[in-house]
Amino acid sequence: MPKYEPGAIEPKWQEIWRTERIYEPDLDRAPRPFYNLMMFPYPSAEGLHVGNMYAFTGADIFGRMKRMQGYDVFEPIGLDGFGIHSENYAMKVGVHPMDQAAKAAPRFYGQLAAIGNGFAWDERVETYDPEYYRWTQWIFVQMFRKGLAYRKTQSVNWCPKDQTVLADEQVEGGKCERCGTEVVRKELEQWFFKITDYAERLLKGLDGIDWTEKVKIAQRNWIGRSEGALIDFPLAAGAAGAASGAASSQGLGNKSLRVFTTRPDTLFGATFMVVSPELAERWLRAGWQASEEVKKYVKESLTKRELERIDEGKEKTGVPAGLAAVNPATGKEIPVWVADYVLGNVGTGAIMAVPAHDERDFAFAKKFGLPVVQVVAEETGVLTGSGRFDGMDSEKAKREITKLIGGERKVQYRLRDWLISRQRYWGAPIPMIRCDACAAAGKGERADMPGWYAVGESDLPVILPRIENFRPTGTGVSPLGTEKSFYEVKCPACGGHARRETDVSDTFLDSAWYYLRYLDPKNDTAALNGARVAKWLPPENDGPMRLYTGGAEHSVLHLLYVRFVAMALHDWGLVAFEEPFKKFRAHGLLIKDGTKMSKSKGNVINPDEYITNFGADTLRMYLMFLAPFEQGGDFRDAGVLGVERFLKRVWAYAETLVPAEDAGKVKSAAREPAPAPAPAPAPAVAPALHRAIKKVTEDIENLHYNTAVSALMILLRAIEEGKGSREEFTVFLKLLAPFAPHLAEEIWRGRFGNAASIHREAWPAYDPAHLAGSAITLVFQVNGKTRDAVETESSIGEEEAKALALGNRKVQNALEGKTVKKVIYVDKKLVNIVA
């Protein structure tokens, strides 16, 4: 009997599958499309991590079952190769990013092939391919033309190590999410996408999609909708100590100070105002003659590192502005302060401070001797100290008070616009041209952005040139800004000297639309608008037509951007759907010995070693077995052995079913008889078989792979003990196929001599009539405590069961000296005697 040698059979079948193209659906004619998409990896290190394998295998098993259920499963793969992480890795190993990408691709694809997934290899994409980023740039052009891309100078997050700006989403606790360096503030002019225009739709859309709840919650929090009011506080003469008198004389004009609040019902309690350093800065630039103390404070606040400002959150700082404002509810003058606990980019950049009803205001007031109250009550209730509103409910008072003082009700979002520009090399060049002459003449493609022109569609892609000084300059100018041949262009309007935009776009733009590109990778027409998209991504959600799988760490980055871009494409009439992924499931995190795997801890699992030592099938199956897929779990070497033993037993049992003369011979497809009708299994194995079909099918559908593997183990045991027939074993083999595709194929074709792949066979169906055997286990309890369990006929009736229980010796022992009060019967399950 030949040995089970995964090292030999796995590459063999991978090669045959590829040649036979069994995982390549006909994208134009597939009758039952199922888009099984998984987040593609970014090739930023030596190779794929076992965590990637975990994610891909889990998604692949789902797709494999769907394929066997008759769906045309499309499971593409590719590389998210642009971006800071890939570029940083290239610099670390001292290779040009372009060369590194070329080197990484075969390595990554090789690993992805080795795990044995049913990828549609022909459709792979790499985001750094000019034919790919042509359309990334095309999307940018559309964003510009539709008014969704704009430039703005603002204080942005700057990573001193990566020497580029970061989106808010890429800053974690004041540090760069890539390298952990403390982020600083920097004033720069940058490109933004107006994702905030879509805040409400991004929020509402979540209600209609089937996503991991955790991710939905994260997105809701990130969008952060809050209802409130805009209220104007007229600025008055400086009762708070401004020697120079009225505000107007301080160079501010007869302005009023506008604030946003979610609690207009607390307006009567507003005893001072606070202006953010950012707003104060704007005032100063507009000519506000503030004290030296204010100027100094503003300057210091704005140059502080993000982290310092967060750290000081407990101990608040601030200075009096030397201004006073009038509380429109009470008519009283209240002082204005400048303090950095108020953020410049939230609301109006200024607040009304209500120490009685806001912890932060209270803390600030206490420190500077401003409070008149001893305790804070943040919760809503019934108003007091609010004149004629006393006794009114908070909710009603919010509306009434806003109305009274002429405030404007407003919904505000925490979400900020998407900062697109990156001052790096390894990304898609932003396809824009700037002409100073046109700008001076007030001309431009868009009236609100004089001097700016999008690169014409026929001129796309704007090719990223190979330059040797690709390293970040650190000056806020992209490396492409040193390349004359790149940036010197003619103005598309006036023909004069113009300058090409030298920043590249955020990598998240690359990955915000790749799912569309897969549907048309080789054509030069936009994938975005094809018939294939309508076929594979219909707007309606009837049935399990698509599944997106990936890590929960992308909850608010990728998964928000991809929805935004889809909504924009929808609005431009390019795609019928608004939500690209009707169903999304996040896999859990794989850990090692109780902690996150990381290079610094030296506990990173290299999947290649396991594939070499145990085989891909064993690794796949172990990964699925170790914990619930959506929960993640602990990778332990010892556990791999159990799965390896199981697969060896599968192999050994299969060998007992191979007739000596059949072994190794492969019948031709032409002579293959029609599939036999469902076999009538031997009584011993039948219930186990049907139970397993039900369990494995349902478990895969719910991504409960760990219990599906367990069910397969139980079934194999039943087959071994019941001496299951080849027909019965074949059912088992089909259930096993998604988990151990190579082994199943080797037995099916190599050993049993079938011509066509098992992965194209029909998924087994179970017969409910066969689920239960004739015997059931009846449990006897006394006062809820189990005393005995007996095997009995499943036809047993209530009275019979009760009699059986009362006559049971162990039950009688437990009942000694007690009177039976009540007997509870649960049909065919248990009898509980209350005594």
Partner RNA sequence: GCCCGGGUGGCGGAAUCGGUGUACGCAGAGGACUUAAAAUCCUUAACCCGAAAGGGUUUGUGGGUUCGAAUCCCACCCCGGGCACCA
Q: Residue 162 CB, nearest distance to RNA (Å)? A: 18
**Pick from 796, 97, 220: nearest CA to 470:** 97
To the nearest whole angstrom, how small is the minimum distance from the Cβ of residue 181 to RNA?
17
Q: Which of residues 715-744 bind RNA (CB under 7 A)?
A: 717, 720
Tokens of 486: 């790149």
Report the amino acid identity of residue 280.
A
CB of 591 to RNA, least distance (A): 8
Burial class (CB in 10 A: 0-12, 13-18, 19+), 827: exposed
In angstroms, give the least distance from the CB of 688 to RNA: 12
Residue 218 or 545: the one with the smaller Cβ distance to RNA is 218
Confirm or reject binding of residue 556 to RNA (CB under 7 A): yes
| Distance of alpha carbon 322 from alpha carbon 257, whole angstroms | 14
* Positions 508 through 537 that interact with RNA (CB under 7 A): none
Size of the site for RNA (CB under 7 A): 84
**Residue with tokens 């919010």, as numbered in its chain:** 398
In the set 1, 310, 377, 762, which binds RNA (CB under 7 A)? Answer: 310
Find the shortest distance in angstroms from Cβ 638 to RNA. 3
Nearest to 223 by CA among 560, 585, 512: 560
Q: Interacting stretch for RNA, rule CB under 7 A, among 311-319, 320-328, 520-528, 684-692?
A: 311-319
Q: Is residue 307 within the footprint of RNA (CB under 7 A)?
A: no
Residue number with CB closer to RNA (435 or 552): 552
- Residue carrying structure tokens 């190769």: 81
Q: Which of 574, 714, 771, 804 touches RNA (CB under 7 A)?
A: 714
Contact between 624 and RNA (CB under 7 A)?
A: no
Name the minimum Å distance from CB 237 to RNA: 26
Tell the smallest beta-carbon distance from residue 168 to RNA (Å): 7
Residue from the set 86, 111, 276, 511 that interacts with RNA by CB under 7 A: 276
Give 346 or 545: the residue with its C-beta nearer to RNA: 346
CB of 316 to RNA, least distance (A): 5
CB atoms near residue 91 (< 10 Å) = 17
- Site for RNA contains 304 (CB under 7 A): no
- The 8-class DSSP code of residue 42 comes to P
How far apart (Å, rounded) are the C-alpha atoms in residues 583 and 413?
Answer: 26
Among 85, 554, 704, 759, binds RNA (CB under 7 A): 704
Beta bridge partners of 76: none
Rounded CA-CA distance 226/205 in Å is 17
Cβ of 185: how many Cβ atoms within 10 Å? 19
**Cα(66)–Cα(73) distance, integer angstroms:** 7
State the minimum distance, in angstroms, from the CB of residue 789 to RNA: 4
Options 255, 648, 667, 802; binder of RNA; rule CB under 7 A: 648
Q: Say which amino acid occupies 619.
A: L
Q: Which is nearer to RNA, 150 or 413 (CB)?
A: 413
- Comparing CB distances to RNA, the nearer of 320 and 349 is 349
**243: Cα within 13 Å, side-chain hemisphere:** 2
Question: What string marks each residue from 660 to 699 as x (binds RNA by CB under 7 A) or -?
Answer: ----------------------------------------
Range 761-820, binding RNA (CB under 7 A): 777, 779, 781, 783-784, 786-787, 789, 810, 813-814
C-beta of 546 vs 704, nearer to RNA:
704
Question: Closest distance between RNA and the C-beta of residue 794, in Å?
Answer: 13
Q: For the chain, how many residues are written?
A: 835
Among 13, 341, 561, 584, the residue binding RNA under the rule CB under 7 A is 341
> At closest approach, how far in Å is the CB of 166 from RNA?
13
Q: Does residue 713 belong to the site contacting RNA (CB under 7 A)?
A: yes
Residue 433 is a binding residue for RNA (CB under 7 A): no
Going by their DSSP bridges, the two strands 256-261 and 225-236 should be labelled as: antiparallel
User: With CB under 7 A as the contact rule, which of the stretches 69-77, 80-88, 642-650, 747-755 interacts with RNA?
Assistant: 642-650
Token pair for 235: 């600025």
> Distances in Å between the alpha carbon of 514 and those of 508, 634, 766, 823?
10, 32, 38, 64
- Nearer residue to RNA within complex by CB, 421 or 706: 706
Q: For RNA, which residue of 203, 342, 397, 568 counts as binding (CB under 7 A)?
A: 342
Residues 590-619 that bind RNA (CB under 7 A): 596
**CB 270, CB 294: distance < 8 Å:** no
- Note the Cα 814 to chain centre separation in Å: 56
Binding of residue 409 to RNA (CB under 7 A): no
Strand-pair partners of 505: 421
Q: Pick between residue 284 and residue 815 the one whose CB is nearest to RNA.
A: 815
Identity of the residue numbered 160: P
Tokens of 393: 């409910």
Please enumerate in sequence order all residues whose Cβ is within 8 A of that of 509, keeping only pairs 6 or more positions apart, or say none: 136, 139, 140, 420, 428, 561, 565
Closest by alpha carbon to 587, among 182, 59, 199?
59
* Residues 196-215 within binding reach of RNA (CB under 7 A): 213-214
Distance CA 639, CA 452 (A): 60
Phi-psi region at 40: left, alpha or beta (left = phi > 0; alpha = psi -120 to 50): beta
Binding mask 168-197 for RNA (x = CB under 7 A): ----xx------------------------
Nearer Cβ to RNA, position 373 or 779?
A: 779
Joined together, the tokens standing for residue 792 give 């009995």
Can you count the helices (H) and strands (E) in the chain?
27, 33
Give the span between the Cα atoms of 320 and 337, in whole angstroms: 4
- If phi > 0 it is left, if psi is from -120 to 50 it is alpha, else beta; for residue 21 that is left
832 binding RNA? (CB under 7 A): yes
Within 357-386, the residues that bind RNA by CB under 7 A are: 358, 360, 363
* Using rule CB under 7 A, residue 299 touches RNA: no
Shortest Å distance, C-beta 613 to RNA: 13
Name the CA dihedral angle for 758, 761, 767, 772, rounded to a multiple of 10 degrees: 10
Among residues 49, 64, 185, 316, which is the contact residue for RNA, using CB under 7 A? 316
**Cβ nearer to RNA, comparing 500 with 563:** 563
Are 324 and 334 within 8 A, CB to CB? yes
Counting Cβ atoms within 10 Å, is residue 3 exposed (0-12), middle (13-18) or buried (19+)? exposed
CA separation for the pair 783, 435 (Å, rounded): 88
- Stretches 77-85, 249-257, 576-584, 625-633: which one binds RNA (CB under 7 A)? 625-633
By beta-carbon proximity to RNA, the closer residue of 310 and 441 is 310
Shortest approach of RNA to residue 255 CB, angstroms?
19
**Binding letters toward RNA, positions 450-489, x by CB under 7 A:** ----------------------------------------
- Provide the token pair at 498: 């113009």
Least CB distance to RNA at residue 452 (A): 29
Nearest by Cα to 453 from 420, 492, 487: 492
Only one residue has tokens 């549609």, namely 120
**362 closest CA partner among 346, 384, 341:** 341
Q: How far is the CB of 701 from RNA (least distance, A)?
A: 13
Q: How far is the CB of 265 from RNA (least distance, A)?
A: 11
* Distance from C-alpha of 795 to C-alpha of 358, rounded to nearest angstrom: 68
Binding RNA by CB under 7 A: which of 144, 283, 425, 625?
A: 625
Site for RNA in 212-271 (CB under 7 A): 213-214, 217-218, 221-222, 224, 226, 228, 260-263
For RNA, the closer CB: 684 or 714? 714
